[in-house]
C-alpha cells in the first residue's frame, strides 16, 4: 500500500485510538500497529526483523536501569509502612495551621512522590484515608477533594521520578539533568498549592473549620521526626546529591538508594518474605509494563520517521506564521487533550516522536521542554471531563460525592498549574538554573 505521509499518520493514530477504545492495553495496541506498519512499510514479513531490532535497541540501554530500581525502592517503602509513618510525623508538626488537613494532603503527596511516582496511586491512597476525615471535620468538598487531587500530581514532579527517566530516554537527553531540573518546579508547585489553601481558608474559614487536635509533646515529635521522617528522606536526598555532583550516575544512585531502603526497612523490623514478595512483585509488574510500552514507542517512532510524517510535521510546525511560544502552547494543549483519555506514559510515547524534532528545529532546550511537559502531564490527569485521577477520586471519595463536585474542586489547582507553566515558559532559568550548576 502506497500512501502519502498524512495517510500513514491518520492510519497509525486511528488504529491506535480504536485499539485503545476497545480496552486493549497500550503496549499491545502499539505492538499491533507496529507490526502492521512494519509489514506495510518495510517489505512485508522481512519488516518484522527490523521491528525486532528496534525493540531490542530500545530497552538494551543502561539509561533505563534506574526505572525498576526506583520503583522497587518506592514499593518497599510503601508496603513496609514507612510512608504512613512519614505522613503521621508530618501531621504532628502541622499544629493549628489554617486548612490543616488540606495542607497535610499536599505535604503527604509530596512525600509520596518520592516513593510511588504514580499520581493515581497517591490520589487513591490519600482519597481513601484523608477525604472521609475531612468530611467528618466539616471541610467543604472544594477544600477536601481539590488538595488531594493536586497532591497526586506531585508524585511525578518530585524526584526520583520514573516518568522523568522515560521522558529523557525517549528524548535522548540527560537523565541526571531532568531529575535535578524537576526539583524546583515540584517544590514550587507544592508551595503554591499550600499558599492557595492557607490564603483561601484564612479568608473563608467555613471552607475548613478549625478543630482541636491531640497535643503531642515536643520531645515525642522530635523523636518521631528523627526516627521515622529523617532516615527515608535522607535516602532520597542522598540519591539526588549523588546525581547532582556527578558522584554516581542515575543508575548507580538508584541502586545505592534501593540498597539503603532495604537496610532501613530491616532496621525498622519490617523486612520479611511477605514484604519482599509483594514489593518485588509490584516493582516487577510496573517495570515490565513500562519497558513493554517503551519497546512499542521505539518502533512507532521509526515508522513515523520512515513514512515521512515526522519530517513533514516538523516542517509544517516551523513554517507556521506564529510566534514560537504559540507553537509551544499548541503542543501543550495537545498533551492536555490526550490527558483526558490516557495515562501519562502513553501520552509521552505518542507525542515525543512528533514533538522532539520540532523542539530541536526551534532550538529549545530539551530539558526545559521536557519539564514543562511533565508539569502539563501532571495537570492533565485532573483536567475535566475525563482526567484519570478524577475518576480514581470518584471511586474512593465519600458516597455522596458527585463528579461535578470533583470537577469544581480540581479547577483552582488546574489554574495554579497553568500559572506555573506560564512562569516556566517566561523564565526558563526557573527550570534550568539548578541543572546548570551540575559539574
pLDDT digits (tens, 9 = 90+) for 229-281: 899 889 888 988 898 888 888 888 889 988 999 999 999 999 899 999 988 88
pLDDT at 179 over 80: yes
**Mean of all residue pLDDT scores within the chain:** 81
pLDDT digits (tens, 9 = 90+) for 41-78: 777 666 677 677 766 665 666 667 777 888 788 788 87
Say if residues 113 and 186 touch (Cβ distance below 8 Å). Answer: yes
Nearest to 346 by CA among 163, 173, 175: 163
Q: What is the pTM of this model?
A: 0.79
Report the pLDDT value the prediction gives residue 423, as an integer from 0 to 100.
93
Q: How far is CA 237 from CA 30, 183, 245, in A?
A: 36, 11, 12
pLDDT digits (tens, 9 = 90+) for 308-340: 776 777 777 777 788 888 889 888 888 887 777
pLDDT at 376 over 60: yes
CA–CA distance, 391 with 187 (Å, rounded to integer) = 26
Q: How far separated are the first and last CA of the chain, in Å rounded?
A: 51
Say if residues 372 and 355 touch (Cβ distance below 8 Å). Answer: no
Task: Name the residue with higher pLDDT: 296 or 179.
Answer: 179
The residues near 295 (Cβ < 8 Å, ≥ 6 apart) are: 27, 31, 55, 58, 59
Report the pLDDT value the prediction gives residue 417, as an integer from 0 to 100.
92
Say if residues 383 and 418 touch (Cβ distance below 8 Å). Answer: no
Report the pLDDT value the prediction gives residue 259, as an integer from 0 to 100.
93
Task: Name the residue with higher pLDDT: 170 or 256.
Answer: 256
Say if residues 130 and 149 touch (Cβ distance below 8 Å). Answer: no
Report the pLDDT value the prediction gives residue 424, as an integer from 0 to 100.
93
Say if residues 355 and 156 touch (Cβ distance below 8 Å). Answer: no
Say if residues 130 and 104 touch (Cβ distance below 8 Å). Answer: yes
Question: Is the omega angle on the peptide bond into residue 104 within 30 degrees of 0, that is, cis?
Answer: no
Taken as a whole, the chain contains a residue count of 439
pLDDT digits (tens, 9 = 90+) for 5-33: 777 778 877 887 788 778 777 678 878 88
Report the pLDDT value the prediction gives residue 57, as an integer from 0 to 100.
63
Nearest to 189 by CA among 420, 369, 379: 420
Which grid coordinates belong to 176?
541526571
Which pLDDT band holds residue 119 (cuts at 50, 70, 90)? low
CA–CA distance, 373 with 230 (Å, rounded to integer) = 31
pLDDT digits (tens, 9 = 90+) for 120-144: 666 777 777 778 878 888 888 888 8
**Average confidence (pLDDT) over 390-419:** 86
CA–CA distance, 84 with 121 (Å, rounded to integer) = 14
DSSP 155: G
Which pLDDT band holds residue 34 (cuts at 50, 70, 90)? confident
Amino acid at each position: 500500500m502506497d500512501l502519502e505521509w498524512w495517510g500513514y499518520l491518520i492510519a497509525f493514530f486511528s488504529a491506535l485510538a480504536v485499539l485503545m477504545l476497545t480496552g486493549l492495553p497500550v503496549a499491545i495496541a502499539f505492538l499491533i500497529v507496529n507490526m502492521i506498519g512494519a509489514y506495510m512499510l518495510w517489505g512485508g514479513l522481512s519488516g518484522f526483523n527490523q521491528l525486532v531490532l528496534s525493540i531490542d535497541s530500545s530497552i538494551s540501554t543502561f539509561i533505563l536501569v534506574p526505572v525498576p530500581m526506583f520503583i522497587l525502592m518506592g514499593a518497599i517503602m510503601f508496603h513496609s509502612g514507612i510512608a504512613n509513618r512519614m505522613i503521621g510525623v508530618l501531621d504532628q508538626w502541622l499544629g493549628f495551621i489554617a486548612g490543616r488537613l488540606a495542607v497535610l494532603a499536599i505535604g503527604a503527596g509530596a512525600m509520596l512522590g518520592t516513593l510511588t511516582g504514580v499520581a493515581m496511586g497517591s490520589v487513591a491512597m490519600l482519597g481513601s484515608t484523608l477525604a472521609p476525615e475531612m468530611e467528618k471535620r466539616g471541610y467543604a468538598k472544594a477544600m477536601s477533594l481539590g488538595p488531594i487531587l493536586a497532591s497526586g500530581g506531585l508524585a511525578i514532579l518530585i524526584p526520583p521520578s520514573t516518568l522523568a527517566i522515560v521522558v529523557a530516554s525517549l528524548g535522548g537527553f540527560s537523565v541526571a539533568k531532568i531529575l535535578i531540573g524537576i526539583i524546583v518546579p515540584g517544590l514550587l508547585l507544592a508551595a503554591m498549592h499550600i499558599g492557595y489553601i492557607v490564603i483561601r481558608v484564612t479568608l473563608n474559614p467555613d471552607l475548613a473549620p478549625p478543630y482541636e487536635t491531640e497535643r503531642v509533646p515536643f520531645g515525642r515529635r522530635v523523636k518521631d521526626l528523627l526516627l521515622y521522617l529523617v532516615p527515608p528522606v535522607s535516602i532520597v536526598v542522598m540519591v539526588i546529591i549523588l546525581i547532582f555532583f556527578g558522584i554516581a550516575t542515575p543508575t548507580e544512585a538508584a541502586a545505592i538508594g534501593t540498597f539503603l531502603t532495604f537496610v532501613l526497612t530491616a532496621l525498622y523490623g519490617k523486612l520479611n518474605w511477605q514484604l519482599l514478595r509483594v514489593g518485588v512483585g509490584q516493582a516487577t509488574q510496573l517495570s515490565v509494563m513500562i519497558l513493554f510500552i517503551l519497546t512499542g514507542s521505539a518502533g512507532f517512532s521509526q515508522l513515523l520517521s520512515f513514512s515521512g510524517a515526522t519530517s513533514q510535521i516538523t516542517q509544517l510546525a516551523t513554517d507556521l506564521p506564529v510566534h514560537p511560544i504559540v507553537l509551544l502552547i499548541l503542543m501543550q494543549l495537545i498533551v492536555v487533550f490526550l490527558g483526558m483519555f490516557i495515562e501519562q506514559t502513553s501520552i509521552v510515547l505518542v507525542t515525543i516522536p512528533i514533538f522532539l524534532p520540532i523542539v530541536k528545529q526551534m532550538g529549545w532546550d530539551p530539558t526545559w521542554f521536557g519539564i514543562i511537559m511533565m508539569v502539563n502531564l501532571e495537570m492533565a490527569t485532573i483536567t475535566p471531563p475525563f482526567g484519570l485521577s478524577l475518576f480514581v477520586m470518584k471511586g474512593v471519595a465519600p458516597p455522596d460525592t458527585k463528579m461535578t463536585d470533583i470537577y469544581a474542586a480540581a479547577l483552582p489547582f488546574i489554574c495554579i498549574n497553568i500559572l506555573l507553566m506560564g512562569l516556566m515558559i517566561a523564565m526558563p532559568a526557573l527550570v534550568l538554573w539548578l541543572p546548570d550548576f551540575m559539574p
